[in-house]
Structure 1
Amino acid sequence: MAFAWKTAGITYNRYLAVAARTVRRSLKEGPRLQAERRGEMDLRFAKWQGGKQGDMKNLGEANEAAMAQVAKEQ
């Protein structure tokens, strides 16, 4: 039996991001605000090709864009 996130065509990290966002949104107002602050990402990454670094991108924004793209394709 295949995992649901694999069948949906998303990575495990994206699956975890969606699950975490769902749990945060289900909380009451006070705890929800605290959990949303903890869920903010401030990580950056860059792809390297041919020994040269590409543009730096925010990991959170890149994940959101990728999830939106997957949702659009379905």
Structure 2
Amino acid sequence: MAFSWKAANISYLQYSIVCARAVRNSLKPDLRAIAQRRDEQGLKFQKWQGGKAGDSAPVEVNKPPASS
């Protein structure tokens, strides 16, 4: 039996994201709000120089990190 995500021609990562979203949407409203907060993602940029970490800064979508 073929995997359902392969039959749908998507990657396993895309499949797992769809499944997680379906589970979150099936929860009761009070639990759904808590679970949907976990769906938010963030990315931080931190420049290392000379073996030491610099300041970290959040990266906004479609905006490259500020260069030093």
The aligned amino acid for 1:37 is R
Superposed CA RMSD: 2.1
Q: In the TM superposition, what whole-angstrom CA distance separates every residue of 1:15-73 from its partner, at most 9, and x where no partner exists?
A: 000000000000011100000001112248xxxxxxxxxxx885xxxxxxxxxxxxxxx
- Structure in which a larger fraction of residues adopt strand: 2
Return 5+ residue gaps in structure 1 as ranges: 45-55, 59-74
Change (3 A) 1:2 1:57: farther
Is residue 12 from structure 1 mapped to residue 12 from structure 2 by the alignment? Answer: yes
Return 5+ residue gaps in structure 2 as ranges: 45-58, 62-68
Give me the TM-score of the superposition, normalised by structure 1. Answer: 0.56
SS at 1:27's partner residue?
A: coil
Change (3 A) 1:43 1:15: farther
* Aligned position for 1:33: 33
Larger radius of gyration: 2
Give me the TM-score of the superposition, normalised by structure 2. Answer: 0.60
> Which residues of 2 match residues 52-63 of structure 1 at below 5 A?
58=61
Structure with more contact order per residue of length (Cα contacts < 8 Å, sep ≥ 6): 1
Q: How many percent of aligned residue pairs carry the same amino acid?
A: 49
Distance 2:43 2:3 in 1: 27
Aligned length: 47
Distance 1:11 1:57 in 2: 25
